Structure 1
Amino acid sequence: MDALEALHNRVSVGVLTDPAPSSAQRDNIFRAALRAADHGNLRPWRFLVVEGEARNRLGEIYLDASESGDTEGEPLSDAQRERFLAMPLRAPLILVAITRLQEHPKVPQSEQRMSTAGAVQAMLTAAFAEGVGAYWRTGELAENRQVARALGLADNEEISGFIYMGTPQKTPRPAPALAVSDFFADWQGQ
């Protein structure tokens, strides 16, 4: 697929099944991340590849974190427990996007987070170009330090999201038609 076609038409694909991306597809997708804008060449991103039985372990980590973080004192229902265990089974491949925050005199941590976001966006677009369905999830579990510790993150690292990848169960929806003029305006210096 042409690069501009992929950039103009990429959409998230949320209903995924086996197979996971092939080795060749993964190589292209992963290489795309390495081209993200990166002030200072800090390479503040890294990714954990979760598939197969490791997805079940990730579900256990989600459940443990959710049970220990319950501030109301109410135990989780069986349905809630099953939901946490099943979350990683939504796709055959999950990438955990991690930002390694570094002290730098010219590169604030906000830029380091944006670089990781750029790497994720590049992978999502590359996945679309490869015919791989993908979507990016964040939320409470991504911000949960217990989850981060269980995944082996250092104190200066944070989860920037979970990228789910697999084969789309149906044809991806068309990208919404947006007017460029709704988002870009000339500025006259005033």
Structure 2
Amino acid sequence: MLSDGRESGALAAVANRRSHSQVTAEAPTRAELLPLVAAAARAADHAALRPWRLIEVRGEARDRLGEALVTASACTGEEAAKLRLKPLRAPLLIAIVACRRDSSPVQVWEQDAAAVGVAHLLSLLLTDAGWGVMWRTGPLVRTEAVRLVHRLERSEELLGWLYVGGVPADCTAGNRAVVNPANHLSVL
């Protein structure tokens, strides 16, 4: 809330944020993504290491990711068929990669936190631009087959994907229950 009683754009964007588990086939172009990534890069980042990178996963790359998920899970039949389709739930997946620098005096957890901050800001910016977004993870994120399909370096860890697409016209997803902030903000 601003001192004059109005909600700021940032407060409104955060207060109205929600995950969209279903999206349409539209997705932002690379040209539309670039300024959003530039803005998200303003996230807190100890020593300005930029210990993160993002990978666009579109088109047939989503099929390759589906195959990697099946390989990593070792499942077969109907279970494999369902798993193979998971990356096709959105036209654009943005892989969030923490690029850890062990030689830095900045702790690895702080580097991961910077990557998470970029991902969260990017999800807010995408939502504010009118896109549906959901951050997905799961037990297969850090498997070798999934690492290989993303061409990760040894010092990198996949933190999950932002699934991005258009917001369906009949979207009825509700917002999360509002928390009582007093239960989560203490005084020392």
TM-score bracket for the superposition, by shorter chain length: 0.7 to 0.9
**d(CA) in 1 for partners of 2:35, 2:129:** 8
Alignment-derived partner of residue 10 in structure 2: 3
Paired letter, 1:155: R
Residue deviations 1:159-183 (CA, integer Å, cap 9, x gap): 0111100112215423422221121
Aligned residue in 2 for 1:119: 118
Whole-Å separation in 1 of the counterparts to 2:135 and 2:83:
17
Partner in structure 1 of residue 107 of structure 2: 108
Q: Equivalent residue for 2:4?
A: none
Query: Normalising to structure 2: TM-score of the pair?
Result: 0.87
Letter in 2 for 1:167: G
- Cα 1:145–1:33 change in 2 (3 A) is farther
Aligned match of 2:177: 176
Shift of 1:150: 2.6
Contact 2:27 2:165 in 1 (8 A): yes
Q: For 1:140 and 1:103, locate their aligned partners in 2 and report how far apart those are by CA, in whole Å.
A: 25
- Matched residue, 1:71: none
**TM-score, structure 1 length as denominator?**
0.86
Whole-Å Cα distance in 2 between the matches of residues 172 and 186 of structure 1? 35
Cα distance change on mapping 1:151 and 1:23 into 2, 3 Å: closer
| Corresponding residue to 1:56 among 60, 63, 66 | 63
Offset of residue 106 of structure 1: 2.6
User: Is contact 2:64–2:149 with CA below 8 Å preserved after alignment?
Assistant: no
How far apart, in 2, do the equivalents of 1:23 and 1:109 lie?
30
Listed as ranges, the gaps of 5+ residues in structure 1 are: 68-75
Distance 1:30 1:83 in 2: 31
Q: Does residue 139 of the first structure (1) align with residue 135 of the second (2)? A: no
- Count of residue correspondences: 179
| Structure 1 position 45, deviation (Å) | 0.4
Runs of 4+, deviation exceeding 6 Å = none
Equivalents in 1 of 2:21, 2:39: separation in Å?
A: 21
User: Structure 2, unaligned stretches of length 5 or more?
Assistant: 1-7
Task: Name the counterpart of 1:149.
Answer: 148
Tell me which of the two structures has the higher relative contact order, counting C-alpha pairs closer than 8 angstroms and 6 or more residues apart. Answer: 1
2:38 is paired with a residue whose SS is helix
Q: Note the C-alpha offset of 1:139.
A: 1.7
Q: CA deviation at 1:24?
A: 5.5
Change (3 A) 1:104 1:8: farther
- Confirm or deny: 8 A CA contact 1:28 1:126 kept in the other structure: no
| Structure 1 SS opposite 2:86 | helix
